Amino acid sequence: MSKRRIPSRIFTVLVYLFLYAPIVLLIVFSFNSAKSNRVWEGFSLKWYLELFQDTRLLGALRTTLILSVLAALIATILGTAAAIGFYSMRRRSRSVCLSVNNIPLTNADIITGVSMMLLFVFAIGAFNGSPLSQLLGVRWKMGFGTLLLAHITFDAPYVILSVMPKLRQLDPNIYEAAQDLGASGFYAFRRVILPEIMPGVLNGLIIAFTMSIDDFVISYFTKGSGVTTLAVEIYTMVKKPVTPEINALSTLMFICVFLLLLIVNVRQARQETASSRRKAALTPSDGQS
């Protein structure tokens, strides 16, 4: 049996090699003293130093972090409320809402990007031409605001998709039980429902945050000319032939992503053992055996 597995193991290793060779290359050459991804000339940390002195890139990083945190938080609140609302709906209207919710997920990013750009250009043009704009002395333009709106729009579907299953698992009687015991509607929600769906809400928040950080295409079309995000800044840097700072940046990002994924996985494993333990405690026969 084990001998027959050797070809499949070789295949698996080759695929992982294919997936990781480019990343290893970036990490190794981030410590290269020469300005080259081809020839190794000696160990150096100078690209990291340059990275930390690149004010444009650091500014873009700051914008991206603020944007991603804000967008993920708002999308989580909006999406969790919407998930409860959808859950309460009749089947017909719920399935309509969920299909609209799926549009940003299935549509190509570039379509979402250009369509929102059209909306923003249209709305801003209409507003700036209106008497209201003259009255207030305000002129709108694309920038952080439009970026935030776009990011919330493509983040929220992920939150809803991760909260909905938790709501379906919920025992429909516990909310009424809490109310029978004298809890007000909001109190019962806060103390009974929210803790139950919290893992889904948190997962949604994390997915939304990473989607925002990672997004290039939609940001590219909705950012306007004043602001820039990390991914867009990377795009302008990558277009130049050799930019060793990118290697250093990739290494740092890889480490961040790795740690984040590790935390999420450990959290999930803990949740699973906790829930299986609780199940074992609740079913006496299992508990005894």
Looking at residues 70 to 129 of the shown chain, list those that interact with other proteins (rule: CB under 8 A): 78-79, 81-82, 84-89, 97, 100-101, 103-104, 106-112, 114-119, 121-122
Span interacting with other proteins, options 7-15, 49-57, 65-73, 132-140, rule CB under 8 A: 7-15
The residue (of 11 and 52) whose beta carbon lies closer to other proteins is: 11
* Residue type at position 164: M
The SS3 assignment for 43 reads strand
The residue (of 126 and 287) whose beta carbon lies closer to other proteins is: 126
Q: Residue 128 to residues 121, 136, 137, 223: CA-CA distances in angstroms? A: 10, 10, 10, 18
Residues 6+ apart with CB under 8 A from 63: 144, 227, 228, 229, 230
Shortest separation between residue 38's beta carbon and other proteins, angstroms? 5
Shortest separation between residue 50's beta carbon and other proteins, angstroms? 16
Show contacts with other proteins in window 128-167 (CB under 8 A): 149-150, 152-153, 156, 160
Shortest separation between residue 82's beta carbon and other proteins, angstroms? 3
| Spatial CA neighbour of 117 closest among 213, 229, 223 | 223
Shortest separation between residue 12's beta carbon and other proteins, angstroms? 5
Shortest separation between residue 137's beta carbon and other proteins, angstroms? 25
Q: Check residue 199 and give left, alpha or beta (phi > 0: left; psi -120 to 50: alpha).
A: alpha
Size of site (CB under 8 A) for other proteins = 82
Span interacting with other proteins, options 19-27, 125-133, 134-142, 198-206, rule CB under 8 A: 19-27
Backbone φ and ψ for 32, nearest 5 degrees, come out as -80, 140
Going residue by residue from 169 to 208, which x/- string records binding to other proteins, judged by CB under 8 A? ---x--x------------xx---x---------------
Per-residue burial over 39-60, b if 16 or more Cβ lie within 10 Å, else e, is eeeeeeeebbeebeebeebeeb
Show contacts with other proteins in window 225-254 (CB under 8 A): 230-231, 234-235, 238-239, 242, 246, 249-250, 253-254
Q: Which helix (H) or strand (E) holds 112?
A: helix 109-129
